[in-house]
Amino acid sequence: MKTRITELFGIKHPIIQGGMHHVGLAELAAAVSNAGGLGIITGLTQRTPELLAREIARCREMTDKPFGVNLTFLPSVNPPDYPGYVKAIIEGGVKVVETAGNNPQKWLPALKEAGIKVIHKCTSVRHALKAEAIGCDAISVDGFECGGHPGEDDIPNFILLPRAAEELKIPFVASGGMADGRSLVAALALGAEGINMGTRFIATKEAPVHAKVKQAIVAASELDTRLVMRPLRNTERVLSNAATERLLQKERELGAAITFADIAPEVAGVYPRIMHDGDMDAGVWSCGMVAGLIHDVPTVAQLIAGIMDQAHALINERLAGLAR
């Protein structure tokens, strides 16, 4: 399947693995790239630029296909060593960067000079247009269904994607609610050039997370996610668990007076305990509503092949038949 996204990134299938904290390691990124998609290493999971450089080298040992690095720009009093991370990406020969969070404009000249293509994650059309204006090559349009941070506008992809298609000139992929061939065909129909999947890739054999995490996603329905940190305007969609209920109870009790410090025990530094140790109630963790469509834990190659087979069947049989 050839789209502007496959052409831009030099990949076989229009499927991107999104950056995920303590999930986007070399094992998963390489597996996705080897299966014809675009694997992504999560930059800030690596605590230092030196560790990121090592992870990039490790991924390169596992695949000769294109892969990328996610770099999220966070508002912080003590920001990460972003110049060091950018240098590690450039020196590692990475040719695709997925940016997220704050405006990446100040980092684009160095990335562009190194021949790197930049896809920026946006939860609104206005932000997507800004990313296009500053020179990003593509957009990951993140609908309200997504796991992680859906923004504050609450626009689902059935509206957000065609709106993006009306406004953008650069290619974009659909992120949030993507799980199978039906997702891909629907995204293409709505104007996207491919899909970005996060939660679906966690429930794969190669995802370097505890089996309990994968089991929790398979067991969950589309009703089992919650929105937290709404009062802080840092909304995050997470899987419902005991920590989620503790956090929501604090939000109800403190209302508009709540601060990040009040919920830090449920949010700060919890990912290693969940993803690595399988302590499922240690804190909240990002999960999309798409969990309701995830019923198994295949290999990455099986997942991507199944998506493409289903997509081609839908296009060539069901949809073609309707057009007669």
CB 18 within 8 A of CB 197: yes
Asked if pLDDT for residue 50 goes beyond 80, the answer is yes
Asked if pLDDT for residue 323 goes beyond 90, the answer is no
Mean pLDDT of the chain: 97
Instruction: Please provide the distance, in angstroms rounded to a whole number, between the alpha carbons at the two ends of the chain.
Output: 23
CB 13 within 8 A of CB 49: no
In this prediction, residue 78 carries a pLDDT of: 86
Please enumerate in sequence order all residues whose Cβ is within 8 A of that of 64, keeping only pairs 6 or more positions apart, or say none.
none
In the structure encoding, which two tokens stand for residue 134, read together? Answer: 């500053």
pLDDT bucket at 9, cuts 50 / 70 / 90: very high
Burial (CB count within 10 angstroms: exposed 0-12, middle 13-18, buried 19+), residue 301 = middle
pLDDT bucket at 77, cuts 50 / 70 / 90: confident
Report percent pLDDT > 90 for the chain. 98
CB 43 within 8 A of CB 70: yes
The pLDDT of 245-249, averaged and rounded, is 98
The pLDDT of 294-313, averaged and rounded, is 98
Asked if pLDDT for residue 324 goes beyond 80, the answer is no
What strands, in cross-sheet order, belong to the sheet with 138-142? Answer: 15-17, 195-197, 172-175, 138-142, 117-122, 96-101, 67-73, 39-42
**pTM score above 0.75:** yes
Domains of the chain: 4-208 (3.20.20.70), 221-286 (no CATH)
Sign of CA dihedral 149, 311, 193, 111: positive
